């Protein structure tokens, strides 16, 4: 499958089957994050794999958008580990973590799994439950599993290329 085909097939999956996600697939998703390009290759991000029923229940207390997934990946950025642009002091931690998260999201699709990027969660509460996350800017949760349904009708709705891209 070409990259554009993969990108087109990926959709926000919000319902999963009961089939467990294999550890080998989780490792490949983590490999995709590690391979992601980051500014000056500093890799100022972390990924937490949340699988135990007890910890999944804690995550459910931080968001309604868990979709009862049996695995949730949390992604965080650590600003003090990131490259900072000298001209304006722009810190790239969130950009780098987002690039890694996008690589993960596409690998999830390539492995026949589904997910959605969840940004609506109580980051402070998540940090209380998982102190290892305290020093990170939490940018996303990814509930993952085997899709139980296909894409929503809005999946193929896109703005026109002329509206989003300019040749200058």
The pLDDT score that the predictor gives to residue 158 is 83
Confidence grade of residue 95 (pLDDT, cut at 50, 70, 90): very high
Q: Token pair 């690589």 is at which residue?
A: 103
- The stretch 12-22 carries a mean pLDDT of 95
The pLDDT score that the predictor gives to residue 1 is 82
Is residue 78 within 8 A of residue 47, CB to CB? The reply is no
Q: Is the pLDDT of residue 91 over 70?
A: yes
- What kind and span of H or E run contains 70? none
Under DSSP, the state recorded for 143 is E
| Helices assigned H by DSSP within 111-154 | 123-129
Confidence grade of residue 152 (pLDDT, cut at 50, 70, 90): confident
Give the total residue count for the chain: 168
- What's the CA gap between 102 and 108, in Å, rounded? 10
User: Per DSSP, what are the bridge partners of residue 113?
Assistant: none
Q: Is the pLDDT of residue 153 over 80?
A: no
Residue 112 vs residue 151, higher pLDDT: 112
Superfamily (CATH) of domain 27-146: NADH Oxidase (3.40.109.10)
């Amino acid at each position: 499958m070409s990259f554009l085909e993969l990108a087109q097939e990926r959709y926000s999956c919000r319902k999963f089957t009961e089939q467990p996600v294999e550890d080998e697939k989780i490792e490949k998703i983590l490999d995709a994050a590690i391979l992601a390009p980051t500014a000056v290759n500093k890799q100022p991000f972390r990924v937490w794999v949340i699988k135990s029923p007890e910890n999944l229940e804690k995550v459910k207390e931080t968001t309604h958008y868990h979709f009862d997934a049996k695995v949730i990946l949390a992604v965080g950025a650590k600003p003090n580990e990131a490259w900072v642009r000298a001209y304006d002091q722009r810190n790239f931690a969130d950009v780098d973590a987002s690039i890694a998260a996008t690589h993960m999201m596409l690998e999830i699709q390539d492995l026949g799994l589904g997910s959605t990027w969840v940004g609506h969660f109580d980051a402070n509460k998540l940090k209380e439950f998982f102190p290892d996350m305290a020093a990170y800017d939490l940018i996303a949760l990814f509930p993952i599993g085997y899709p139980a349904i296909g894409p929503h009708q809005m999946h193929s709705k896109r703005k026109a290329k002329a509206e989003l891209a300019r040749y200058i």
